[in-house]
Amino acid sequence: MVDKPLFFLSISLITISIIFSYSLSSFAILYYDYNEFHFMLRQLIAGILGILLMWGISRCNPDNFVLKFGFILFFGGIFLMFIMHFLPESLATSAGGAKRWIRFPLFSLAPVEFFKIGFIAFLAWSFSRKFSLIETKTLKEEFITFLPYVFVFLIAVYLIAILQNDLGQIVLLGVTLALMMIFAGSSFKLFANLLALASVLFILVIITSAHRIMRIKAWWAGTQDLILSFFPQSIANSLRVENLPEPYQIQHSLNAIANGGIFGEGLGNGLIKLGFLSEVHTDVILAGITEEIGFIGLFVISLIFLAMIYRILRIANRCKNTMYYLFCSGIGIVLGLSFLINAFGISGLIPIKGIAVPFLSYGGSSMLSTSIMIGLVLSIGKKAKIS
């Protein structure tokens, strides 16, 4: 039987997304001279398609569908992300100087959103064969076992971080890879060693990009006063950096959160959407939501999201099939981390990464890919007790 609470929790988040795609898109509508309901109607269509996808996929037999579909998304995503770089501007939409969407007659497709599902499916299938919660291996044996995944991840780094200039998605996939590996039965020693290597790679990717260096500087400009307040004055003075770029994204996000207070300014009455930050209904939607319905509203949305992750991990915990267990765990990790990365970004705890909030952020690709994730989990959930 399909997990009805998970299904309806997802629908509630989709509904909230449609409401705020209308409420928070005022400036974008005026700037692009769109119809008043432009973004809401597009999100409504994506939401309806997402609900139908969830329902349809949930009715499939996971034994015949999950792995095949996951591999199609994995290899199809790699192919699309590669050829997208060579497509003309008329067929590929750019953001931040890199091509991230493929244009179709009525919509644009972000291949990375669907690649994430395939990536999780590939890891779940492969980890279930290579690692074991029972078998004990030496660190050297574990490292040799893990080497092929380093190669796969480097392909993702090239396609996403380099060609698409999107480090946030790579951070998300890297943490997911590490946590799924632990869930599969690898040792903490291997995790610690790989974390050190990943940190070196992460630093290299940042220092080789002027755009990413500026983002780090902007983040430090907004947070150094708070962080350095915990250090002795002499040390704080030596670590303080002057003449940094203004962290306008974080400042306006924090202002919106402060303006919202406990109960909010009221639906439609927020100020952040009036040109202070462009397209608030996308990457910084949590700040816009908090300003309009306050901490209480954000708390309720967070509870809904937390309940959704709990239902996913509950299904994972009941799966006797190791691949299904790892796949559902991976979906829970990606959705949970996406929410946290976005929330930490708008609150200034980490640099803003541009990671969409699952179901909530405006965007058809994000909406449909998240719906597919939930649909696959619902399909697996039907067999969780007996498989």
At 169-187, the pLDDT tens digits run 998 999 999 899 888 887 7
Q: Do residues 115 and 106 lie in contact, with contact meaning Cβ atoms separated by under 8 Å?
A: no
In sequence order, what are the beta bridge partners of 99? 94
Q: Is the pTM of this model over 0.85?
A: yes
Q: pLDDT-derived band of residue 386, with 50, 70 and 90 as boundaries? A: very low
Residue 240 three-state SS: coil
Phi first, then psi: what are they for 109, rounded to 5°?
A: -110, 130
- In the predicted model, is pLDDT for residue 236 greater than 80? no
Burial of 234 (0-12, 13-18, 19+ CB in 10 A): exposed
Residues 260-293 pLDDT 10s: 899 999 988 888 888 777 778 888 899 999 999 9
168, with CB counted inside 10 A (0-12, 13-18, 19+), is: buried
- Euclidean distance between CA atoms 287 and 278, whole angstroms: 12
5 has a pLDDT exceeding 80: yes
- Residue 13 in this model has a pLDDT that exceeds 90: yes
Mean pLDDT of the chain: 87
Q: What is the pLDDT of residue 106?
A: 77
Residue type present at position 77: G
Q: What is the pLDDT of residue 184?
A: 86
- According to the model, what pLDDT value does residue 96 have? 61
Percent of the chain with pLDDT over 90: 46
Mean pLDDT of 146-154: 88
Q: 88-120 as b/e, with b when 16 or more CB fall inside 10 Å?
A: eeeebbeeeebbbbbeeeeeebbbbbbbbbbbb
Domain ranges of the chain: 4-382
Q: Is the pLDDT of residue 382 over 90?
A: no
- For the ranges 158-162, 280-284, 306-310, 352-356, the maximum mean pLDDT occurs at 306-310
DSSP 186-212: --HHHHHHHHHHHHHHHHHHHHT-HHH
* 137 beta partners: none
93 membership: H or E segment, kind and range: strand 92-95
Q: What is the pLDDT of residues 321-363, one digit of tens each?
A: 999 999 999 999 999 999 999 998 888 788 777 789 999 999 9
**pLDDT classification of 387: cutoffs 50, 70, 90:** very low
Mean pLDDT over 98-104 rounds to 84
Say what the pLDDT of residue 135 is: 62
Question: What is the per-residue pLDDT for 188?
Answer: 77
Helix (H) or strand (E) holding 102: strand 98-103
Lowest-confidence region among 109-113, 158-162, 286-290? 158-162
